[in-house]
Amino acid sequence: MGNKVMSKDKKGGSKKLWGGRFAGATAASVEAFTASIHYDSRLYKYDIAGSRAHATMLADHGLLSREELEAIVAGLMAIEAEIEAGTFAFRQDLEDIHMNIEKALVDRIGAAGARLHSARSRNDQVALDLRLYLRDECDRLVELLDAVRRAFVVLARKYLGQVMPGYTHLQRAQPVLISHHMLAYYEMFGRDRERLVDCRKRINIMPLGAAALAGTGLPIDRQQVADLLGFAAITANSMDSTGDRDFAIEFVSCCTLIQLHLSRLSEELVLWSSQEFSFVDIADRFCTGSSIMPQKKNPDIPELIRGKTGRVVGSLMTLCTLLKGLPLTYNRDLQEDKEPVFDTVDTVSASLAITAELLANLVFNTGRMEEATRTGFMTATDLADYLVLKNVPFREAHGIVGRVVAFCIEKGCELIDLTLEDMGQFSAVIGKDVFEVLSVQGSVNSRISAGGTALQRVEEALDLAEYNIGIRL
Ligand code: ARG
Assess whether 363 and 245 both reside in one domain. Answer: yes
For residues 8 and 112, membership in a common domain is answered with no
Last residue of a domain, one of 85, 118, 151: 118
pLDDT of residue 23: 81
Q: Tell whether 187 and 41 lie within a shared domain.
A: no
Q: Is the CB of 123 under 6 A from ligand 1?
A: yes
Which of helix, strand or coil describes residue 285? helix
Q: What pLDDT sits at residue 8?
A: 64
User: Please, what is the Cα angle at 189 between 183 and 192, to 5 degrees?
Assistant: 150
What spacing in Å lies between the alpha carbon of 336 and ligand 1's midpoint? 10
Bin 157: left if φ > 0, else alpha if -120 < ψ < 50, else beta.
alpha
Rounded CA separation 122/213 (Å): 10
Q: Is the CB of 256 under 6 A from ligand 1?
A: no
Ligand 1 contacts CB of residue 335 (under 6 A): yes
- Closest atom, ligand 1, to C-alpha of 36: 1
Helical packing angle, 338-360 and 122-158, nearest 10°: 20
- Among 117, 122, 125, 339, name the best residue to mutate to test ligand 1's pocket (greatest count of ligand atoms within 8 A of Cβ): 122
Residues in the chain: 473
355 lines ligand 1 (CB under 6 A): no
Distance of alpha carbon 321 from alpha carbon 325, whole angstroms: 8
Give distance in angstroms: CA of 310 to centre of ligand 1: 28
pLDDT, residue 14, reads 53
* Pocket lining: 126 vs ligand 1, CB cutoff 6 Å: yes
Give, for ligand 1, the residue of 47, 123, 342 to mutate: max count of ligand atoms closer than 8 Å to Cβ: 123
Q: Are 41 and 148 found together in one domain?
A: no
Domain range for 191 is 123-370
In the reported structure, the alpha carbon of residue 249 is separated from the centroid of ligand 1 by a whole-number distance in angstroms of: 18
| Pairing outcome for strands 4-6 and 89-91 | parallel
Kindly report the protein residue whose alpha carbon is nearest to atom 7 of ligand 1: 122
56 and 1 in a common domain: no
Confidence at residue 1, expressed as pLDDT on a 0 to 100 scale: 55
Catalytic residue annotation: 169, 290
The pLDDT assigned to 365 comes to 98
3-state secondary structure of 384: helix
Q: What is the CATH number of the domain that holds 153?
A: 1.20.200.10
Q: Which residues pair with 6 in a beta bridge?
A: 91
pLDDT single digits (tens) 68-88: 999 999 999 999 999 999 999
Residue 94 near ligand 1, beta carbon < 6 Å: no
Residues 22 and 45 in one domain: no
Torsion of CA 140, 146, 147, 151, to 10 degrees: 170
Considering the domain architecture, whether residues 253 and 137 belong to the same structural domain is answered as: yes
**Where residue 414 sits, what CATH number does that domain have?**
1.10.40.30
Number of domains, the chain = 4
- DSSP annotation of 62: T
Domain boundary among 91, 118, 145: 118
- Where residue 377 falls (left for φ over 0; alpha for ψ -120 to 50; beta otherwise) is left
Q: Based on the fold, state whether residues 133 and 109 are members of the same structural domain.
A: no
Task: For residues 112 and 206, state if they share a domain.
Answer: no
Note whether 106 and 172 are same-domain residues. no
Distances (CA, A) of 2 to 78, 88, 216, 345: 16, 8, 38, 21
Question: Of the candidates 155, 448, 130, 162, which has an alpha carbon nearest to the alpha carbon of residue 319?
Answer: 130
Q: For 370, how many CA atoms within 13 A lie in the half-sphere containing its CB?
A: 11
Q: Is the peptide bond before 329 cis (omega within 30 degrees of 0)?
A: yes
Tens of pLDDT along the chain (473 residues) come to 567 787 665 544 457 888 888 888 889 999 999 999 999 999 999 999 999 999 999 999 999 999 999 999 999 999 999 999 999 999 999 999 999 999 999 999 999 999 999 999 999 999 999 999 999 999 999 999 999 999 999 999 999 999 999 999 999 999 999 999 999 999 999 999 999 999 999 999 999 999 999 999 999 999 999 999 999 999 999 999 999 999 999 999 999 999 999 999 999 999 999 999 999 999 888 888 878 787 878 899 999 999 999 999 999 999 999 999 999 999 999 999 999 999 999 999 999 999 999 999 999 999 999 999 999 999 999 999 999 999 999 999 999 999 999 999 999 999 999 999 999 999 999 999 999 999 999 999 999 999 999 999 999 999 999 999 999 87
The answer on 45 and 24 residing in a single domain is no
Beta bridge partners of 171: 168
The pLDDT of residue 296: 77
Question: Which one of 87, 118, 149 terminates a domain?
Answer: 118
CA distances from 3 to 79, 90, 146, 152 (A): 12, 7, 34, 40
- Spatial CA neighbour of 113 closest among 69, 81, 78: 69
Closest approach atom of ligand 1 to CA 96: 1
193 and 309 belong to one structural domain? yes
Atom of ligand 1 nearest to the CA of 334: 12
